[in-house]
Chains A and B, each alone.
Chain A
Amino acid sequence: MSLETFVYWSFVICLTYLLSVYVAFALVLIASAAEGLLLARESRQEDYDTIAESRFTIPVSVIAPVYNEAVVVVGAVRSMLALNYPEFEVIVVNDGSKDETLEVLRQAFDLKPRELFYRKVFPSKAVRGIYESSRYPQLLVIDKENGGKADALNCGINCARYRYLCTVDGDTVFSPEALLKGMRLALRDPAKVLGVTSLVEISRHPEEGLKLKPGQHHADSKALTNFERLDYLRAFMNNRIGWSRLGFMLCSVGAFAIWRRDVLVELGGFSGEFTCEDIELTFRVHEYFRRKKTPYKVLSLGEMVGWTEGPDTVRSLVSQRARWQRVITETVWHYRRMFLNPRYGSVGFLGVPYYVLVEVIAPIFQVLSVITLPVAWWIGMLSFWQLFIFLLIVAFSNGVLTNCAILLHDQTSRTYRIRAMVHLMLLGPIDLFWYRPILFWAQAKGLVDFLRGDKEWHKFARNRRATS
């Protein structure tokens, strides 16, 4: 086979793949737009005041595993304690932190050691101490040996009192309305709604997000943060909401996921066998309830419920995204029996194939296109202008997706100033030339790590800022 033939067919294959992905995005985007606008309208009509005051509102146990979060944990826990919700508890599980996380919590919340006998529904590493706060009776802190996030979550579930659980990240600052918004769909249909997730935004200073009213938020001064923010927006507004509508919402985010407790008990809790526990659990829920033919819903909202820190450097971003790629591939491989399996309905026919197309095999085509395009130009198959125009087409197409995400997000949350919206929209096309190559590299690395059997977390370092 000559080089020209190889390059030609590579180009055709990559172009076909790209068009397939855009078609898939477009179809899901249509579903997202329909569902997102509907959810936004319903949310505006909801009587949140009654929910916030009613003693009949289903109580929730918020479970926050923390590991080496001394810098951010107090702000995050304060935001959880300030949630506007009639009845809830906050269980912070210190997963064997090597820094001063526990001491910082002890001082900030006036913790006193107590023994609590709980039912060990799920095994977990040994608990070293349990603490109650004399100032915040709904706060419980569990100090345990390090066992990973899944282990910490399971330990928290063992001690939880309520029927619904909200698993969160210990570094995320929540808006006071987070639980109200998150629980809205579950309260309407507690029999069927098993899980709900919602958008958490990226910020270099999560605690600043609480100080600004809707419509006042700026774009970040750092481009990398803005690109990450847009990535999250696209993931939620263009994808997850559409997946909800189509019945295959396959990824409840670890930063904010509400689960009905009995579901977790029935399924055996979070699994420590996977690099990330959140997506695997969501797959498992779908697999189990589809197999049992039990009507259920796992949903996503587009409403912003909090702010979390994202990787601040390219290196840490690559580490994070490589991990995500690895865990997606792990999970899809583990649940491959659902692929195109009619037993699993839209999850089998749409959801898993979507993941395979858009996530799992993406790095292969990305690498191929990165090689093919310059070679095609070099051997004269593509002129410089053709190549340039092609890249612009892809850039503007990405820009369209970004604009749609911003539009849908604005209809739902009205977070940003108009100027910030313009700023973010202008970054949409630039994404291909600046941010996307980083992700290409990270995803390729993630796929290789999966094939090598790497299971490490590779946590990114916290941004440098003053301790609270």
Chain B
Amino acid sequence: MKALNIWLISLAVAAGTYLLTGIAALIGRMLHERNRSVVDRLRSILERQADSGTTPQHPQGRADKYLSTLSRRRIKRVIADTVLTPEINVVICRHMVNRIGIERLKKEAMRRSGSRLPWSRIMALQILAFGRTDAAWNALEKALIAPDPRVVGAAVTILGNLPDARAAELLAKAMRVGCYPASRISAFLDCFPLDLSALLGSLLGCPSPTVRYWAAIMLRKYPNFRGGGDVLASLTHDSNPQVRRAAVESLSLLHGNLAAEEARRLLSDEVAFVRAHAARALGNLQQVDAAPAVAALLTDRDWWVRHAAKVSLEAMGSQAIPHILPFLKHQDRFARNGAAEVLQNLEYFEQLLDEELLGPSRPERLAILDQLVQAGGVRMSEAMINRLPREVRQKASALLSSLGMERNGGVS
């Protein structure tokens, strides 16, 4: 009997736990649906207010009236549990500022947190910031140096969504201090709706190369930044290769003349990725007179530099072809392959084949085709034939076979 009781108690515990967890799951979902219904209701209120001309900030606005019928705790759950549009976010946060009070929110937003409390602090920051209070700035500045990375991350995200110059300044400060990945901060600054050229310009002189790098990258959005060309040009001499790379990239997109000179110089930089970006910069600028120097990078010891050289030469277009042709006979196999690939992508292979098939045969053209077939390999020739109209494939195949297509493996 005792043993049976133990079994039954165990069963009751197991079944009870099963029921409780099931109910918890359903309650969690129903609470979420309730929170969503609050958001849906607010949305329809705002749409009706917009139609009627009543502004959402009006203290007697229906949104405020509706939110007043809900408990603060409920509204906080809505903020935590749902993804809010910017308009609804502002409406709710303004309401909560009035309800909770700025002083209490400030206290909450500045509080050092344990493992659970960061969410309270983060919510207070959100409410202060999107409620458009001046108290938010100080709280956000402190949050950026919080020991908890969740608080820092939330502060960065909040600042990134506040279209205010002060937000940009704080983000720039965060980048200088290095409290959060610079790439994330830069993503927000780059999407900022305001002109940040002056602010970014001030970051170019920062001791941290990471900051200089991102500032140089972001400045390409501002072609009219005064003195930008000279500053970026000087940064192409920076001791840090990432900064040199960023500077030449941005320069090529903003200041063509200055860029060409600096990019040419950087083609012989000791660091591979700088050479690669210098090559790409010249491609962006379509500096055909730099094509010989860029083509020479087809023999670079670094794969990514060779790849960048190919991309750059393609960007320069058909005018670069004469400078690529010599590499079809280069002793470096990768250079031959690279040259053939560029010529394929510039449709030069097609052009030569068309001319040879349709017009009188010319020895110099056949010689180039022969070099292309050898440098590009069987697969390139086969791909070329398969791109042609069906009616000429056989003739093209015969021609390329006569040039030794089958015997020249050429696959890298």
**Beta-carbon contact of A396 and B18 below 8 Å:** yes
B154 within 8 Å of A by Cβ?
yes
Given contacts A115-B380, A407-B28, contact A54 B21 (CB under 8 A): no
**Beta-carbon contact of A389 and B344 below 8 Å:** no
**Beta-carbon contact of A115 and B21 below 8 Å:** no
Instruction: For residue A58, give the distance in angstroms from its CB to the closest CB of chain B.
Output: 8
Residues of A within 8 A of B21 (CB): 400, 403-404, 407
Chain A interface: which of B76-84, B139-147, B287-295, B352-360? B76-84
**Beta-carbon contact of A115 and B344 below 8 Å:** yes
**Which partner residue on chain B sits nearest A393 by CB separation?**
B14
**Beta-carbon contact of B341 and A428 below 8 Å:** no
Instruction: For residue B2, give the distance in angstroms from its CB to the closest CB of chain A.
Output: 13
Instruction: For residue B47, give the distance in angstroms from its CB to the closest CB of chain A.
Output: 20
B66 within 8 Å of A by Cβ?
no
Given contacts A47-B157, A56-B183, A407-B24, contact A113 B382 (CB under 8 A): yes
Residues of B within 8 A of A422 (CB): 22, 26
With A and B bound together, what is the CA distance between A47 and B187 in angstroms?
11
**Beta-carbon contact of B83 and A392 below 8 Å:** no
| Per-position 1/0 for A385-402, Cβ under 8 A of B | 110011011001101100
**Beta-carbon contact of B15 and A418 below 8 Å:** no
Residues of A within 8 A of B25 (CB): 403, 406-407, 410, 421, 425
Chain A interface: which of B5-13, B229-237, B315-323? B5-13
| Per-position 1/0 for A32-52, Cβ under 8 A of B | 000000000110111100110
With A and B bound together, what is the CA distance between A120 and B411 in angstroms?
11
With A and B bound together, what is the CA distance between A189 and B182 in angstroms?
10
**Beta-carbon contact of A393 and B153 below 8 Å:** no
With A and B bound together, what is the CA distance between A58 and B184 in angstroms?
10
Residues of A within 8 A of B14 (CB): 392-393, 396-397, 399-400
Residues of B within 8 A of A115 (CB): 340-341, 344, 376-377, 379-380, 383
**Beta-carbon contact of B190 and A56 below 8 Å:** yes
A112 within 8 Å of B by Cβ?
yes
**Which partner residue on chain B sits nearest A117 by CB separation?**
B337
**Beta-carbon contact of B386 and A389 below 8 Å:** no
Instruction: For residue B165, give the distance in angstroms from its CB to the closest CB of chain A.
Output: 18
**Which partner residue on chain B sits nearest A399 by CB separation?**
B18
**Which partner residue on chain B sits nearest A414 by CB separation?**
B32
B205 within 8 Å of A by Cβ?
no
With A and B bound together, what is the CA distance between A43 and B380 in angstroms?
46
Given contacts A114-B383, A418-B26, contact A50 B15 (CB under 8 A): no
Task: Point out the residue from B15, B191, B340 that lies within 8 Å of A54, measured CB to CB.
Answer: B191
**Beta-carbon contact of B26 and A119 below 8 Å:** no
Residues of B within 8 A of A57 (CB): 187
| Per-position 1/0 for B358-392, Cβ under 8 A of A | 00000000000000000011011011001100000
**Beta-carbon contact of B303 and A119 below 8 Å:** yes
Given contacts A47-B161, A403-B22, A407-B21, contact A386 B4 (CB under 8 A): yes
Instruction: For residue B77, give the distance in angstroms from its CB to the closest CB of chain A.
Output: 12
A213 within 8 Å of B by Cβ?
no
Task: Point out the residue from A44, A113, A389, A425 that lies within 8 Å of B383, measured CB to CB.
Answer: A113
Residues of B within 8 A of A400 (CB): 14, 17-18, 21
**Beta-carbon contact of B190 and A55 below 8 Å:** yes
**Beta-carbon contact of A44 and B10 below 8 Å:** no
Given contacts A130-B383, A425-B25, contact A116 B341 (CB under 8 A): yes
Compute the total of residue contacts between A and B using a CB distance below 8 Å. Answer: 139
**Beta-carbon contact of B187 and A429 below 8 Å:** no
B56 within 8 Å of A by Cβ?
no
**Beta-carbon contact of A190 and B183 below 8 Å:** yes
Residues of B within 8 A of A418 (CB): 26, 29-30, 33
**Beta-carbon contact of B29 and A410 below 8 Å:** yes
**Beta-carbon contact of A428 and B338 below 8 Å:** no
A135 within 8 Å of B by Cβ?
no
A458 within 8 Å of B by Cβ?
no
A437 within 8 Å of B by Cβ?
no
**Which partner residue on chain A sits nearest B86 by CB separation?**
A49
B334 within 8 Å of A by Cβ?
yes
Given contacts A45-B154, A114-B344, A120-B412, contact A389 B22 (CB under 8 A): no
**Which partner residue on chain A sits nearest B122 by CB separation?**
A45
Instruction: For residue A272, give the distance in angstroms from its CB to the closest CB of chain B.
Output: 21
B186 within 8 Å of A by Cβ?
yes
**Which partner residue on chain A sits nearest B186 by CB separation?**
A56
B228 within 8 Å of A by Cβ?
no
With A and B bound together, what is the CA distance between A51 and B161 in angstroms?
12
| Per-position 1/0 for A49-67, Cβ under 8 A of B | 0110111111000000000
Residues of B within 8 A of A55 (CB): 190
Residues of A within 8 A of B183 (CB): 56, 58, 187, 190
A316 within 8 Å of B by Cβ?
no
Q: In B1-57, which residues have CB < 8 Å from any A CB? A: 3-4, 7-8, 10-11, 14-15, 17-18, 21-22, 24-26, 28-30, 32-33
A129 within 8 Å of B by Cβ?
yes
With A and B bound together, what is the CA distance between A117 and B332 in angstroms?
14
Instruction: For residue B116, give the distance in angstroms from its CB to the closest CB of chain A.
Output: 10
| Interface positions of A (Cβ within 8 A of B) | 41-42, 44-47, 50-51, 53-58, 112-120, 127, 129-130, 187-190, 385-386, 389-390, 392-393, 396-397, 399-400, 403-404, 406-407, 410-411, 414, 418, 421-422, 425, 428-429
Across chains A and B, which 8 residue pairs bring their CB atoms closest together, nearest first? A115-B380, A113-B383, A403-B21, A407-B25, A396-B14, A54-B187, A399-B18, A117-B337
A sample of 10 more A-B contacts (CB under 8 A), given A116-B341, A118-B412, A393-B11, is: A41-B80, A54-B187, A55-B190, A115-B379, A188-B181, A386-B7, A404-B21, A407-B24, A414-B29, A425-B22
| 28 residue pairs bridging A and B, Cβ less than 8 Å apart | A41-B80, A47-B157, A56-B217, A113-B382, A113-B383, A114-B383, A115-B344, A115-B383, A116-B341, A117-B337, A117-B338, A119-B303, A127-B411, A129-B382, A129-B383, A130-B383, A190-B181, A386-B7, A392-B14, A392-B15, A396-B17, A403-B25, A410-B25, A410-B29, A411-B28, A421-B26, A422-B22, A422-B26
| Interface positions of B (Cβ within 8 A of A) | 3-4, 7-8, 10-11, 14-15, 17-18, 21-22, 24-26, 28-30, 32-33, 80-83, 119, 122, 150, 153-154, 157, 160-161, 181, 183-184, 186-188, 190-191, 217, 303, 334, 337-338, 340-341, 344-345, 376-377, 379-380, 382-383, 386-387, 411-412
